[in-house]
A and B are shown apart, each in its own frame.
Chain A
Amino acid sequence: GDSVTQMEGPVTLSEEAFLTINCTYTATGYPSLFWYVQYPGEGLQLLLKATKADDKGSNKGFEATYRKETTSFHLEKGSVQVSDSAVYFCALSFSNDYKLSFGAGTTVTVRA
């Protein structure tokens, strides 16, 4: 079945450090790919998405590029802030399917 694998956390960084969270997927066909973020005590919010190969999603300084050849969608941010502390979820979905399949989530803590 379709699945998403994320790097395990937790990840702890200092402010202004570079953040990378690895995400790879297994799927039959070419899904759309997403990063959702969950801030402490809140529900998930869409951070960015890419719907086809080589697309780059970006938002709030975060970026991720859909790499078909490596079946990856790694999330990056060049300079993190304390407010970026959250759980980050990679997910995939197909156009004929209502379902989002999530990775296990990666907890990121940014220290001042």
Chain B
Amino acid sequence: DTAVSQTPKYLVTQMGNDKSIKCEQNLGHDTMYWYKQDSKKFLKIMFSYNNKELIINETVPNRFSPKSPDKAHLNLHINSLELGDSAVYFCASSPPRSWTQYFGPGTRLLVL
């Protein structure tokens, strides 16, 4: 009965590879988000989708491409991984007309 789930939980890969992180929420929320948390715990929004439509696209390299096949899923694909992409990536969702966001457990990405 996990509310917001992410897979994988850990991801270790080589520079230059392409990888995807998946996110699913079973809360019936309309809006989903991707955040990046760096080693100093600083949290920054990357993307947001509302009803499968992209509504927030912060200054993120175009190697990062979100995809929302339906309201319950928001995946993050990363091309040509770089060392600086190492971080924890959090997915979140929120219901309509609410600022409360529900976070997944995070995906710890390490690029070697």
Contacts from A to B (Cβ < 8 Å): 32, 34, 38, 41-46, 49, 87, 89, 93, 95, 98-100, 102, 104-105, 107
Q: What is the bound-complex CA distance between A38 and B4, given in angstroms?
A: 15
Q: What is the bound-complex CA distance between A49 and B98, given in angstroms?
A: 11
- Is A105 a contact of B43 with CB atoms below 8 Å? yes
B55: chain A residues at CB < 8 Å are 98
- Is A49 a contact of B99 with CB atoms below 8 Å? yes
- Is B4 a contact of A98 with CB atoms below 8 Å? no
With CB as the reference atom, state the residue of chain A lying closest to B4.
A43
Which of B42, B48, B94, B103 has a CB less than 8 Å from the CB of A43? B103
Contacts from B to A (Cβ < 8 Å): 4, 31, 33, 40-45, 48, 50, 55-56, 90, 92, 94, 99-106
- Given A43-B103, A98-B56, A99-B56, answer yes or no on A89-B31 (Cβ-Cβ < 8 Å): no
- Is B103 a contact of A99 with CB atoms below 8 Å? no
B103: chain A residues at CB < 8 Å are 43-45
Interchain residue pairs with CB less than 8 A apart (6): A34-B100, A38-B41, A41-B105, A49-B100, A99-B45, A107-B41
Describe B's contact surface by its main secondary structure: strand
- A-B interface contact total, Cβ < 8 Å: 52
- Is A32 a contact of B41 with CB atoms below 8 Å? no
CB distance from B63 to the nearest CB of A (A): 22
A104: chain B residues at CB < 8 Å are 40-42
Q: What is the bound-complex CA distance between A102 and B48, given in angstroms?
A: 15
CB distance from B101 to the nearest CB of A (A): 6
- Is B94 a contact of A98 with CB atoms below 8 Å? yes
- Is B43 a contact of A34 with CB atoms below 8 Å? no
- Is A43 a contact of B105 with CB atoms below 8 Å? yes
With CB as the reference atom, state the residue of chain A lying closest to B108.
A41
- Is B31 a contact of A46 with CB atoms below 8 Å? no
Q: What is the bound-complex CA distance between A107 and B103, given in angstroms?
A: 19
- Is A100 a contact of B99 with CB atoms below 8 Å? yes
Q: What is the bound-complex CA distance between A105 and B96, given in angstroms?
A: 26
With CB as the reference atom, state the residue of chain B lying closest to A104.
B42
With CB as the reference atom, state the residue of chain B lying closest to A31.
B99
- Is B42 a contact of A105 with CB atoms below 8 Å? yes
